[in-house]
Amino acid sequence: MEGLLDHLLREELTAIGGYDRAVSEFIRVTDQLLPKRVFTRIVPELLNGGLTQAGTPVRPQLLGSDPQCLAENAARLAELNPAGIDLNFGCPAKCVNRHRGGAVLLDEPELLAQIVAAVRRAVPAHIAVSAKMRLGNEEASRMLDCAQALAESGAAELVVHARTKRQGYKPPAHWHEIARIAEAVAVPVVTNGEIWTVQDALQARRESHCSALMLGRGAVADPSLALALRAHDLGLPALQARWAELPPALLSYWQRVRQVVAPKHQAGRVKQWLHYLRRCHPEAEALYMALRTLHEAPRFEAELHAALRCPAPELQTA
């Protein structure tokens, strides 16, 4: 989720808890060997043993179409001892697909196999290589070919978003199709797409025949979703989304944003998260409406703290 669920928000969500693993936004690989600083800039958790501050492993994700170049970059990335390496064959963005990356490669299962095999050979055996895919590019006729190509060439796990690229993020997600993939491959399959609530998660499990789930936008909208699902699995009382726990996370997120994001984009980053949070929290809707016209960081910070009834710290120049 480039531009939204980066390391800043990963820190806040994993601090709330419930996650076994996180995956980074994609690192674009074209025709050159990237310096290590690119990997650590996008995935700074690599400087912390591959973990968020809360201790959640983060798997960096590579995106590209050149098997040899991806392999060389994976080998360099492996020197930083990541918690696995993920390969992106699911991004539906036009700008990515136009440059032969992401979901457009699902029309070429032979190339998928070459990429995974090359990356698998290039990195030490203890570093897992996984892959993210959709049901297809324009349509799903080669879904099983792609899944089998990925699994048989060395992917230890497949994450499947239950829509084609053409379907984008338009509901519904076709979780039942993932069951066909899970039956066709010998590696674990993780279900992804349109999981906003515990009820969605349980239905996704039933239809996909997969117990493991990847949460994306649903976790951004309801940061306690993973914990709520864990509570259900353990037979504990239902855990409802609670706004009272979010003001500290929002303020912490704002401070992280202030440290690394250009001033003109700082307010926008927090409003972006609030836009998702208002799906579950009326309080987020009210806060979003109060802040939506503010752009300059000092005033935004003052109003944010006032709205959350927390004293604002002394303003620092970013």
Positions annotated as catalytic residues are 91
Determine which helix (DSSP H) or strand (DSSP E) holds 161, and give its type and residue range: strand 157-161
Apex 247 CA angle, 245 and 252, nearest 5: 110
- The residue whose two tokens read 């303020």 is 251
Q: Is 193 annotated as a binding residue?
A: yes
Is 161 part of any known ligand binding site?
Answer: yes
User: Is 192 among the annotated ligand-binding positions?
Assistant: yes
Note whether 102 and 89 are within 8 A (CB). Answer: yes
Q: What is the DSSP letter of 108?
A: -
Q: Give the position of tokens 């969605």.
A: 200
Q: Do the annotations mark residue 183 as ligand-binding?
A: no
Sign of the C-alpha dihedral computed for residues 198, 199, 202 and 203 taken in this order: negative
Check the annotation: does 170 bind a ligand: no
Bridge-based pairing of strands 157-161 and 129-134 is parallel
235 marked ligand binding residue: no
Yes or no: say if 22 and 57 are a contact pair by the CB < 8 Å rule: yes
Is 11 labeled as ligand-binding?
Answer: no
Whether the CA torsion 38, 41, 46, 50 is positive or negative: it is negative
Residues 191 and 174 sit within 8 Å (Cβ to Cβ): no
CB of 310 within 8 A of CB of 251? Answer: yes
Q: Is 61 annotated as a binding residue?
A: yes
CA nearest neighbour of 102 among 83, 117, 115:
115
Question: Cβ atoms within 10 A of the Cβ of 289, count?
Answer: 11
Report the distance separating Cα 57 and Cα 48, nearest Å.
Answer: 10
Binding residues, as ranges, are 61, 132, 161, 192-194, 216-217
Binding residues for FMN, as ranges, are 61, 132, 161, 192-194, 216-217
